[in-house]
Structure 1
């Protein structure tokens, strides 16, 4: 009995000792993601748990991952990262909008990733245009986690009511891509729909009702720049005025309702989702999931939308720019205070695969970030998202610059003014005054 007790004590010590060694050898990393888990976005963090053992085996280490996932307001979420960074308590990996690179990189909160990216062949599969949104000061500071496009949706039902043939309806995205159907054609078609009573007045074209990156497409589409070749902020008054003249014309001509700016989002989406009320709508690819789940579920959800609605690039406003869209990738960034950036990057590489990204893209109705996802049956078999993947080859993005928020707010001031019947040249001057007041010599007014 005495020998048994001694043996048991020795075994206990061995267990404790082994646990202690394992605990000492374990590499602890914290990853924080913002996600609407009810909207299928949980894979932003959950994918790391799926690849944890794979990375452990590849690196010969033990990992102790802490995954923090919540759906706080973006402002609060980002502010908490800033405060944690200043206190030296930031997570190793933070998921946020790529535009935060413009503020967090110069502040020293995140680290450049070029050398770490080069060590992982998985990243060669990322759609090339998405890397543009990860740059600041000539270096790469983030890895795209997801993508979307901001297209023009159109009702197949209402185009048919206008007398369009099935071939004309089905070929519309390609004709936009080829420059054969421009924004002028869209406006004319919307006007025809109103004039012929196919839609009510104001229902020919709906645009965004609130502030957001979508408004930048109008400025980009008229040839405007936000950053010059030296990386300095720019405001092009000629491009801005052309864009505002067009935006102001929508309600004046009756194709857009005069209360479009500020309209309740539920009213807007209820009008658009049925494909029976609004002919064209400038939105985001993520709207599709919202409509399928919350607005036309009783009609068949996704199947109903596929039958009655489609989407296309933002048609060309002029010959020089051509059709475009805008995407706003969320990005994985590594904190400059991380003690194990190589391990953090190995984890990011492990979730940057078709299998992992498909889980997120399909569940959350986001576009995939990888070229080879178009070779995946699961991805291609979901036309609600894969039909828009080509748009990433024609995308633009908001700039990574600390002054972007001020620039964006000034442009929004001008858009609201023009939509409310302020003369476009006066609306441009409102933006100029606001930009020079807030940014001074940090911006060039052309």
Structure 2
């Protein structure tokens, strides 16, 4: 992973005194933690805070203090209900102390007054925060301030059924060479469509299951925009970028996939359970998803031999203007403006302890996520796990992230609406692109660059 100059932060003396005051005065403190995207394999998003609370209590006991910290954790598996709950809680002045969410929420939530900058409560120059990957700290920042601490990292991959590739003539050597061909641009998204069609023609997968992409809206679809040369934000100005040519290429690719018969026009909206059953049960030809899906397939859907069943690669380029890529979507620990400043100081201390490499490695390995810092990569539990090591070395170096721009949600909503329209043939590709341009131009004006 690229290592940038180490970020430095000075903890104010008043914060240190406040922390001391919390431990000296508080005897029974409740810290609330709300986490989105959390299920059986992701339980350490909350459990790590509970572990940290136990450690702080033990430290207090050694100092002769009687401190009890209750961690009130609430988990949401989905994102829409979670974000609505956080918004409603904030409006009623009952926001949880700690919020675990996607980094893209930092922009709008910080501007709305929901968040405290975490840099005011922690020391990024001290252990364990001084070993966090700086590019993940950058993803946790907005408008010149650090708002969150990365809770995890991940990458998103293409997955190929090894048995189905063999059925259409691939040898073991060919399959092993596939990730390199993808990275070099020798195997493109259209090469994939050809293979998906061959799998269906060979009757090793059912019609419409040759290519089974993500069944609903999500960060993953921006990878296809990048596969056709799209840029999410301008490096110099920080403004969002809509590349008409790249968006056209992306929409046309999915329209072509439907026309080829490898994915249905009615595909979007499929349940996740149906998708997981097909992929884990080796009923899909080719798909894409997160590194964490391996843990879900094994824990919930009965996959027995991931490496024997799957080959994996970056998301292929769509044409010679694009590139093979992957997007990382780190979740972050955020401090809300709910509760007192003393509550926030204690919450920040718990987040800091939860970021310790041994603790975070429990989450990474159990859930199929990746390390948040250089020291974690050397923890035996992590270092000896084959999948996390492969993903860290082969996928994560190619990853970028969606921008923390507070207007990105407007662009994202318009992009997916256009994708649905062109995918379902309710609109031509050209008209869908024009509609996206018109919507973002009207909503964002000169806040977005249209090329």
Range with greater deviation from structure 2 (180-189 or 91-100)? 180-189
Take 1:271 and 1:97, find their aligned partners in 2: how far apart are those partners?
27
Gaps of 5+ in 1: 1-20
Partner of 1:377: 380
8 Å Cα contact 1:129-1:395 kept in structure 2: no
Determine if the alignment matches structure 1 residue 313 to structure 2 residue 314: yes
Counterpart among 351, 360, 363 of residue 363 in structure 2: 360
Q: Which has the higher helix share?
A: 1
For the 8 Å contact 2:41–2:295, the answer to whether it is kept is no
Task: Give the 3-state SS of the residue equivalent to 1:392 in structure 2.
Answer: helix
1:435 corresponds to 2:440: yes
Pick from 62, 71, 74 the counterpart of residue 75 of structure 2: 71
Q: Deviations over 1:241-286 (max 9, x none)?
A: 11111121111122323332233433333222222x3221022223
Q: Deviations over 1:123-159 (max 9, x none)?
A: 3433344233212112221111022222111111111
Q: Separation in 2 of the partners of 1:36 and 1:75?
A: 10
User: Is this contact kept in 2: 1:353–1:370, CA < 8 A?
Assistant: no
CA RMSD of aligned residues (A): 3.0
Deviation at 1:194, TM superposition (A): 3.6
CA apart distance, 1:384: 4.1
Quick check: 1:387 aligned with 2:390?
yes
Structure 2 counterpart of 1:13: none
Distance in 2, matches of 1:418 and 1:134, equals 34
Label 1:81 to 1:63 Cα distance change in 2 as closer, same or farther (>3 A).
farther
Q: Which moved more, 1:140-149 or 1:122-131?
A: 122-131
Structure 2 partner of 1:140: 146
Q: TM-score, normalised by structure 2?
A: 0.82
Aligned to 1:158: 164
Quote the offset at 1:44 in angstroms.
1.4
Query: Would the alpha carbon gap of residues 91 and 38 (structure 1) be closer, same or farther in structure 2, given more than 3 Å must change?
Result: closer
The residue that corresponds to 2:352 in the other structure is 349
| 1:374, distance to aligned residue in structure 2 (A) | 3.2
Alpha-carbon distance change, 93 to 279 in structure 1, aligned in 2, over 3 angstroms: same
* Matched-pair contact (CA < 8 Å) for 1:127–1:392: no
Contact 2:34 2:96 in 1 (8 A): no
CA distance in 1, matches of 2:244, 2:37: 38
Tell me whether 1:403 sits opposite 2:407 in the alignment.
yes
For the Cα contact (< 8 Å) 2:41–2:296, is it kept in 1?
no
Q: State the partner residue of 2:13.
A: none
Q: What is the CA-CA distance between 1:442 and the residue it aligns to? A: 4.0
Q: Which residue matches 1:278? A: 284
The DSSP-based 3-state class of the residue aligned with 1:310 is strand
| TM-score normalized by the length of structure 1 | 0.83
Q: Which digits, 9 at most, give the CA deviation of each residue in 1:273-308, with x for residues without a partner?
A: 222x3221022223323322333x2xxx3x322321
- The residue that corresponds to 1:339 in the other structure is 341
How many aligned positions are there? 420
Gaps of 5+ in 2: 1-21
- Equivalents in 2 of 1:38, 1:238: separation in Å? 39
- In the TM superposition, residue 62 of structure 1 has moved relative to its aligned partner by 6.5
Judge conservation of contact 1:222–1:239 (CA < 8 Å) in 2: yes
Q: 2:293 aligns with which of 287, 307, 311?
A: 287
CA distance in 1, matches of 2:189, 2:133: 27
Q: 2 CA distance for matches of 1:52 and 1:204?
A: 48
| Greater Cα offset, 147-156 or 165-174 | 165-174
